Chains A and B, each alone.
Chain A
Amino acid sequence: MDTPLTSPGTDTKPDSLPDFRDPSRAKLLYRQIHEAVRPGQRYRFMEFCGGHTHTLFRHGLTDPLPSAIELLHGPGCPVCVLPMARMDMAIRLAKRPEVILCTYGDMLRVPGSQRQNLLQLKAEGARIEVLYSPHDCLALAKAHPECQIVFFAVGFETTAPTTALLVTEAERQGLRNLTVFCNHVLTPPAIRGILAPTDDSPAPQLEGLIGPGHVSVITGMTPYHALSTEFQINIEVCGFEPLDLLQGILTLVQRTNAGSVEAHNQYTRAVTASGNLKAQALLRQVFVVRDAFEWRGLGFMPHSALALAPGYARFDAEHRFALQEAPAQDNRACACPSVLRGQTRPEACPLWDNPCTPDNPIGACMVSSEGACAAHYRYRRHQRIPTSA
């Protein structure tokens, strides 16, 4: 289906959210999906993004799908893939008396290797600020010249440009007490990490990949064409509304049936072929690609993360505070690593629900609302419907 979703009426804006949640149009898409599914054919699709996982669960979208369609959760949750060693570094930073650590709300409950999290440190008196925009760091830096403001930056290509803007703005304003602890990661190397076989596991059996939406607003479609060709897999870049996902699933079913392979853009109202060129230029200006970076569940992956470019070293918290990464071991029983690869169902982890819960998360997939373990726990723990990995 190549027709983008548009408004049925003239009195509503084409992009208004209710249109993308219209139950009657959803019913139509479900019927088309049911009609398209062929007996004996498997349709294993991985949604890369935690945002997609969240939409599927929150709206109960998987229940009316044919049983031949299996949705596996991917590693696209920035909180989940941050390795414990980096979380430990953030905790060490927050413990420094001169530091005000600023970050997004999701990071507050992620446990470090000593089972400590930022929320507890805050209760103990550490200065930790929850931000809605990294730009709020600028005002904090000016208001507290005696303190070191550190932005704990996490996220994919989606949030990296705003961090880059913070750095250029800090430079323009001549701020000397603001640094960034950079943990931005890149999506295409992670997709490669999922699709390629490793020493421990063969390549996953997938008929299609639901590609990230917001990341692709920045990157454009170019990386997915290469990945689709390299791994001979259909990639459907999707928006985050229920109808976006249903339309994407229908397209993947149709392409699976046709035996054709391509990367396709469902999210045309936001994603363009070449992406946001201005943001891409800003990323190239402020960041360099790290040689390798550890991802929880995927291990060290080459060229998969960003660090501040040498020209911006004075804004790099790792540089200013001489931070060293110390190896940290995840709980051995925690199945987060294989959950993040789509190989283990969250319920199959021995820690899931006991003792690992959103109130007492052991692994990162239980912390973020976009983590697969948290989604299964919050939305399905009494149903245990085997619809997805």
Chain B
Amino acid sequence: MSPTTSLITLAHGSGARATHELVTSLFLRHFNNPILATLEDGACLPTACENSAAELIVATDGHVVSPLFFPGGDIGTLAINGTLNDVAMAGGRCRYLTASFILEEGFPVSQLEKIVISMAETARAAGVQIIAGDTKVVERGKCDGVFISTTGIGQGKALMLEGLSHLQPGDHILLSGDIGRHGATILSHRQGLKFESDLTSDCADLGPLIAQLTGIQGLRCLRDATRGGVSAVLNEWAQASGHVLQIDEARIPVSPNVAALCDLLGLDPLYLACEGRCLLICTAESAESVLTALQAHPLGVQACRVGVVVESDVPRVELLTIFGGRRLLDWSYGDPLPRIC
């Protein structure tokens, strides 16, 4: 962490570099073990590895979204899909979930029920059972309505992911769809920002999309682009693999209303959270079959190749702009905030 950091600030929760540094310099330092050290969203438990089909995958995720209800979902759908996706990204299929609720004194039960119904419906649609839970209530003002943590337990390995250490120059970088919709939707519905727009969150269970890839060889790595957006995933990959990831700006799908909101607020969609999009890297030879498989599913119709892995001395993410320029696609620094002028 930065030498000046003595208190947690909002930047530590942004999914940007500050989050990464907090995780590695504090949590990993004290909890260190080979499973955690992979820093993947889902942990593959080695005890069950003898029979790879029965390998256990565990992922956990806390949800503190504000507002609690937004177009395209609510904190309930997010709490289920977020964890389902973390299990799916580790190559597994989620079977069971646990849910822990922290509730604020005075929160309407009717709203809580709405959230719980969302969770139940989302879990049912994914064929997942919620098998354990916990409830705590804190005094008014000690949390923002409802916080939900979920843990997913799944089975793998449906996918054969070779891992970042196998990345080679020439590998292709693929993206499953248009970016930034969840982040843009939340921002446009935050208190104080009164935009009228038809933006909806892309919140979705990516499990069925990823299941399309079963049996395809040459998959290197897979990650959903949540906090910190596409840029955070790519930067983590570049740093962990030591390679340069070169992205072609013209190929990145951004919906017109996300682009318009970003222009208005001075934000970059590459830094906005998605809740139903993933990035993956595969060999050049397998790229075509991966794309075909993704595009065959409704969540992947916009799937496309957005870049390549290239050889270079300093690991980084480079963006080739539509104007023929070349620049860094850096980590974000703290939460995306509108510029003032």
> Contact residues of A with B, CB < 8 Å?
17, 21, 23, 26-27, 30, 50-51, 57-64, 77-79, 104-109, 115, 119-120, 122-124, 130-133, 136, 154-156, 158-159, 214, 242, 358-360, 368-370, 377-383
Q: In the bound complex, do residue A61 and residue B323 qualify as a contact, i.e. CB atoms below 8 Å apart?
A: yes
* Chain B residues within an 8 Å CB radius of A369: 266, 339
* Chain B residues within an 8 Å CB radius of A104: 337-340
Knowing A123-B8, A123-B9, the reply to whether A155 touches B328 (Cβ < 8 A) is no
A-B contacts counted at CB < 8 A amount to: 121
Q: In the bound complex, do residue B324 and residue A63 qualify as a contact, i.e. CB atoms below 8 Å apart?
A: yes
Decide if B193 is an interface residue (CB 8 Å cutoff).
yes
Q: In this complex, which of A132, A368, A378 has the most chain B Cβ atoms within 10 angstroms of its Cβ? A: A132
Interface residues of B, count at CB 8 A: 40
Q: Which of A64, A106, A133, A214 contacts B323 (CB 8 A)?
A: A64
* Chain A residues within an 8 Å CB radius of B340: 78-79, 104-107, 154-155, 159
Of the stretches B10-18, B66-74, B145-153, the one at the interface is: B10-18
Decide if B260 is an interface residue (CB 8 Å cutoff).
yes
Knowing A17-B263, A115-B4, the reply to whether A136 touches B325 (Cβ < 8 A) is no
Decide if B236 is an interface residue (CB 8 Å cutoff).
no
B259 nearest in chain A by CB position: A17
A130 nearest in chain B by CB position: B337
B244 nearest in chain A by CB position: A382
Rounded to whole angstroms, the CA-CA distance of A272 and B226 in the bound complex is: 43
Knowing A105-B338, A120-B7, A370-B341, the reply to whether A132 touches B193 (Cβ < 8 A) is yes
Knowing A132-B338, A359-B2, the reply to whether A381 touches B328 (Cβ < 8 A) is yes
* Chain B residues within an 8 Å CB radius of A109: 334
Rounded to whole angstroms, the CA-CA distance of A311 and B324 in the bound complex is: 54
User: Nearest Cβ in chain B — how far from A382, in angstroms?
Assistant: 5
Knowing A17-B260, A23-B250, the reply to whether A106 touches B339 (Cβ < 8 A) is yes
Rounded to whole angstroms, the CA-CA distance of A377 and B17 in the bound complex is: 14
Decide if B104 is an interface residue (CB 8 Å cutoff).
no
Rounded to whole angstroms, the CA-CA distance of A78 and B265 in the bound complex is: 16
Of the stretches B112-120, B165-173, B176-184, B314-322, the one at the interface is: B314-322
Q: In the bound complex, do residue A156 and residue B341 qualify as a contact, i.e. CB atoms below 8 Å apart?
A: yes
Interface residues of B in 303-341 (CB under 8 A from A): 314, 316, 319-328, 330, 333-335, 337-341
* Chain B residues within an 8 Å CB radius of A133: 192
Q: In the bound complex, do residue A360 and residue B4 qualify as a contact, i.e. CB atoms below 8 Å apart?
A: yes
Q: In the bound complex, do residue B341 and residue A158 qualify as a contact, i.e. CB atoms below 8 Å apart?
A: yes
Knowing A50-B341, A132-B193, A359-B2, the reply to whether A382 touches B325 (Cβ < 8 A) is no
User: Nearest Cβ in chain B — how far from A54, in angstroms?
Assistant: 8
B260 nearest in chain A by CB position: A17
* Chain A residues within an 8 Å CB radius of B323: 23, 26, 59-61, 63-64, 242
The 8 A-B pairs of least Cβ separation, nearest first, read A60-B325, A105-B337, A60-B321, A104-B340, A63-B325, A123-B7, A358-B333, A379-B327
User: Nearest Cβ in chain B — how far from A267, in angstroms?
Assistant: 15
User: Nearest Cβ in chain B — how far from A105, in angstroms?
Assistant: 3
Decide if B268 is an interface residue (CB 8 Å cutoff).
yes
User: Nearest Cβ in chain B — how far from A19, in angstroms?
Assistant: 13
Rounded to whole angstroms, the CA-CA distance of A64 and B337 in the bound complex is: 30
What sequence of 0s and 1s flags, for each residue 264-299 of chain B, a beta carbon within 8 Å of any chain A beta carbon?
011010000000000000000000000000000000
* Chain A residues within an 8 Å CB radius of B333: 358-359
Rounded to whole angstroms, the CA-CA distance of A109 and B333 in the bound complex is: 10
Knowing A78-B340, A123-B8, A123-B9, the reply to whether A360 touches B327 (Cβ < 8 A) is no
B250 nearest in chain A by CB position: A23
Between-chain CB contacts (< 8 Å), 19 pairs:
A17-B260, A60-B326, A63-B323, A79-B340, A115-B4, A119-B9, A123-B7, A130-B337, A132-B193, A154-B340, A155-B340, A214-B341, A359-B17, A360-B3, A369-B266, A379-B327, A380-B327, A380-B328, A382-B316
Q: In the bound complex, do residue A155 and residue B259 qualify as a contact, i.e. CB atoms below 8 Å apart?
A: no
Rounded to whole angstroms, the CA-CA distance of A156 and B334 in the bound complex is: 25
* Chain B residues within an 8 Å CB radius of A124: 7
Rounded to whole angstroms, the CA-CA distance of A29 and B54 in the bound complex is: 60
Rounded to whole angstroms, the CA-CA distance of A158 and B250 in the bound complex is: 32
Knowing A23-B322, A78-B340, A133-B192, the reply to whether A378 touches B9 (Cβ < 8 A) is no
New contact pairs (4) apart from A79-B340, A119-B334, A360-B2, CB-CB < 8 Å: A107-B340, A380-B328, A381-B328, A382-B328
* Chain A residues within an 8 Å CB radius of B328: 378-383
Rounded to whole angstroms, the CA-CA distance of A194 and B10 in the bound complex is: 37
Q: In the bound complex, do residue A119 and residue B341 qualify as a contact, i.e. CB atoms below 8 Å apart?
A: no
Rounded to whole angstroms, the CA-CA distance of A159 and B338 in the bound complex is: 14
Q: In the bound complex, do residue A78 and residue B7 qualify as a contact, i.e. CB atoms below 8 Å apart?
A: no
Q: In the bound complex, do residue B17 and residue A61 qualify as a contact, i.e. CB atoms below 8 Å apart?
A: no
Rounded to whole angstroms, the CA-CA distance of A132 and B195 in the bound complex is: 11
* Chain A residues within an 8 Å CB radius of B4: 115, 360
Q: Which of A63, A131, A132 contacts B326 (CB 8 A)?
A: A63
* Chain B residues within an 8 Å CB radius of A381: 328
* Chain A residues within an 8 Å CB radius of B337: 104-106, 108, 130
Rounded to whole angstroms, the CA-CA distance of A3 and B7 in the bound complex is: 54
A29 nearest in chain B by CB position: B323
Q: In the bound complex, do residue B325 and residue A64 qualify as a contact, i.e. CB atoms below 8 Å apart?
A: yes
User: Nearest Cβ in chain A — how far from B164, in angstroms?
Assistant: 20
* Chain B residues within an 8 Å CB radius of A58: 268, 321, 327
* Chain A residues within an 8 Å CB radius of B17: 359
What sequence of 0s and 1s flags, for each residue 191-234 of chain B, a beta carbon within 8 Å of any chain A beta carbon?
01100000000000000000000000000000000000000000
Rounded to whole angstroms, the CA-CA distance of A225 and B236 in the bound complex is: 50
A21 nearest in chain B by CB position: B322
User: Nearest Cβ in chain B — how far from A269, in angstroms?
Assistant: 15
A140 nearest in chain B by CB position: B192
Rounded to whole angstroms, the CA-CA distance of A43 and B320 in the bound complex is: 26
* Chain B residues within an 8 Å CB radius of A123: 7-9
